[in-house]
Chain A
Amino acid sequence: ETGVTQTPRHLVMGMTNKKSLKCEQHLGHNAMYWYKQSAKKPLELMFVYSLEERVENNSVPSRFSPECPNSSHLFLHLHTLQPEDSALYLCASSPLIQNVDEQFFGPGTRLTVL
């Protein structure tokens, strides 16, 4: 595997479910990001990790819980979501958080909350 991979690619869940999104980067990068893209809205930054430390929580509700166990893996744990949380969730990585023009994106997870 190369680049940034995300699993699952599609997820349908009920409002009472607990699920997790997984992101893995094979680029040796030190910064990882979660973005959300809702229909008809711009990409929104959710969380940023640098060297496995969270450096940004962009006013994201607590029903989204990120985890970065090492520099290659990033998770987004989901619980008691709302239908308006249905969106495309994109993971990205970059060598360092300053390298904004070197963010590599994964293909995303399309999440539907029923």
Chain B
Amino acid sequence: DQQVKQNSPSLSVQEGRISILNCDYTNSMFDYFLWYKKYPAEGPTFLISISSIKDKNEDGRFTVFLNKSAKHLSLHIVPSQPGDSAVYFCAAGEGSNYKLTFGKGTLLTVNP
């Protein structure tokens, strides 16, 4: 059973608007979460992370929100740019364990 779920395989947004990518998890032992971005023919690159002791982390246009009670996190991109078009993966980890559990990814398309 999938412990990290990204239920939207794809999302299309207009340039300048907000993109919201969602991720749900089932394992309450997860205590840190990461978002990766992947362009075609390239490996995933780390984007932003959040620890379970926080409910928000911001880095420029990217903000990750964590709702522990709902076991839900989201990545907000504001404003969205065409160069943000990529597959976004949510991943979760537990303690000092180096193993990450990934979601299947969401393909974001930002239209000019």
A: residues with CB less than 8 A from B are: 4, 9, 31, 40-45, 48, 56, 58, 90, 92, 94, 97-98, 100-108
Contacting pair B41 A100 (CB below 8 A): no
Q: How far is the CA of A67 from the CA of B102 in the complex (A)?
A: 24
Contacting pair B44 A105 (CB below 8 A): yes
Q: Which 4 pairs, one residue from A and one from B, show the smallest C-beta to C-beta distance? A: A105-B43, A42-B102, A43-B102, A97-B98
For B93, the chain A residues whose CB sits under 8 A away are 100
For A92, the chain B residues whose CB sits under 8 A away are 43
Q: How far is the CA of A42 from the CA of B23 in the complex (A)?
A: 13
A81 to chain B, nearest CB (A): 22
15 contacts across the A-B interface (CB closer than 8 A): A9-B41, A42-B89, A42-B103, A42-B105, A43-B102, A45-B99, A56-B98, A94-B98, A98-B96, A100-B32, A100-B98, A100-B100, A102-B46, A104-B45, A107-B41
Question: A100-B93, A101-B49, A102-B46 known; A40 and B98 CB under 8 Å?
Answer: no
B: residues with CB less than 8 A from A are: 2, 4, 32, 34, 41-46, 49, 89, 91, 93, 96, 98-105
For B46, the chain A residues whose CB sits under 8 A away are 101-103
For B100, the chain A residues whose CB sits under 8 A away are 43, 45, 100, 103
Q: How far is the CA of A45 from the CA of B101 in the complex (A)?
A: 8
Q: How far is the CA of A41 from the CA of B2 in the complex (A)?
A: 10
For B104, the chain A residues whose CB sits under 8 A away are 40-42
Contacting pair A90 B43 (CB below 8 A): yes
With CB as the reference atom, state the residue of chain A lying closest to B6: A42
Contacting pair A107 B43 (CB below 8 A): yes
Query: Which of A31, A42, A101, A105 interacts with B101 by CB under 8 Å?
Result: A42
For A104, the chain B residues whose CB sits under 8 A away are 43, 45
With CB as the reference atom, state the residue of chain A lying closest to B99: A45
